[in-house]
Amino acid sequence: MLIAADTLLTGTDLLRPGWIETTGTTVRAVGAGVPPAPADHSAAVVVPGFVDTHVHGGAGADFSAGTAAATAAAVGLHRRHGTTTLIASLVTAAPEDLLRQVTALAEHTHAGLIDGIHLEGPWLSAQRCGAHDATLMRDPDPVELQRILDAGAGAVRMVTVAPERDGALDAIGRLTEAGVVAAVGHTEAGYRQTVAAIEAGATVGTHLFNAMRPIGHRAPGPIIALLEDPRVTLELITDGVHLDPSIYRHVCRSSATGASGATGNDRVSLITDAMAATGNADGHYRLGTMSVEVVDGVARVAGTDTIAGSTATMDAVFRFAVTHSGLDRDAALLQAVRQATVNPARALGLGRPGLVPGAPADLVVLDSDLGVTGTLYRGQWVVSPDDGAGADTATP
């Protein structure tokens, strides 16, 4: 299949115009200029398939349900919005419930429904519990951790830990030895405690700023420690609710490591933190054990002002990043594509990201306003640009 695009972004380069050829489930060739033969499809913008490494559900389904039907419903919704690689996130749960959830999602991972599991809890700070059940939070226990890793059978990709919990540094070491990415989040840790966690092997900051001790000019806390270490990938929920646009711009500037400035940024990872209400109407939902109320697309723990995940999809957080980057259009596209595809895939070791020969044939076709008109997953259209419908871009 041959696709011609007015603008083609590979993950590292911008080609205008450009073309991409796929064979079966892989990318065969990519080039600039007019395609070498008549194209099967034409597009305004083509980007690699989005990679969401922090998502709890969608289409009314929560990954904690552990059923194939719930997993398929949530994945289907996010695929229609351009996510071709998805890590299912679980919130804090009781030991036996968590073990059951991991066992089920490991089966879904090995069946190809999802690309792995992220444990966001239970080893978090009750002071920064967010939409987690604080009564179920606990210190990392080596026996429980090993049971979970055994049940995951290689499917557990990332675990978020609060560094101040007793046994947290040992748990981070055990996770990294097992090939699992350790992340810092939902934490009241100080600066030095966070530095110690990074030295122990933590390489991701879970939704930076959210559910973290804030920055103090005499007590910098975890945010500054995560920002200043180039080994750390920084998750940001750019949904227009969790962060002010100025914070997104500041993090991009302060964490840029490439010689080309912001477009060389390789540390920011855009995530949705989407929960079950994503793609659905306002109303009452569940996030793990917590009751959640969604009003005007904003999810909060019922009866409180505490944000409970998001109702965003990856195309929405991608558009936000482009719109609010403060860069010119091309630089903004290059930066946002990297943050929505290459960076999260690299951070979790999820294979070869981007549109290059030999990579999976995962791509998103966008219109000039960056709305999804097509999603190609492993060489098959989930949403075909020929249908003329595309995803529902009304999702925030």
Catalytic residues: 273
- How far apart (Å, rounded) are the C-alpha atoms in residues 69 and 86? 16
Instruction: Kindly list the distances between the CA atom of residue 395 and the CA atoms of 121, 310, 311, in Å, as whole numbers in the listed order.
Output: 27, 11, 7
Annotated ligand binding at 132? The verdict is no
Residue 65: other Cβ atoms inside 10 A? 18
Query: Do residues 66 and 100 touch, judged by C-beta distance below 8 A?
Result: yes
- How far apart (Å, rounded) are the C-alpha atoms in residues 143 and 171? 11
Annotated ligand binding at 210? The verdict is yes
- How far apart (Å, rounded) are the C-alpha atoms in residues 371 and 96? 42
Annotated ligand binding at 174? The verdict is no
Q: Look-up: residue for tokens 């990332």?
A: 158
Annotated ligand binding at 120? The verdict is yes
Query: Do residues 396 and 240 touch, judged by C-beta distance below 8 A?
Result: yes
- How far apart (Å, rounded) are the C-alpha atoms in residues 78 and 50? 10
- Using the CB atoms, write b or e for 158-168: b if 16+ within 10 Å: bbbbbbbbebb
- How far apart (Å, rounded) are the C-alpha atoms in residues 352 and 57? 25
Annotated ligand binding at 343? The verdict is no
Chain Cα centroid distance, residue 191: 25
Q: Look-up: residue for tokens 């482009």?
A: 322
Q: What is the DSSP string of 213-253?
A: PPP-SS--HHHHHHHH-TT-EEEE--SSSSS-HHHHHHHHH
Annotated ligand binding at 219? The verdict is no
Residue 53, both tokens? 């490494």
Q: Look-up: residue for tokens 């996510």?
A: 83
DSSP state of 390: -
What φ, ψ does residue 122 adopt, rounded to 5°? -100, 10
Annotated ligand binding at 186? The verdict is yes
Binding residues for substrate: 131, 210-211, 218, 242, 307-309
Binding residues for Zn(2+): 120, 186, 207
Binding residues: 120, 131, 186, 207, 210-211, 218, 242, 307-309
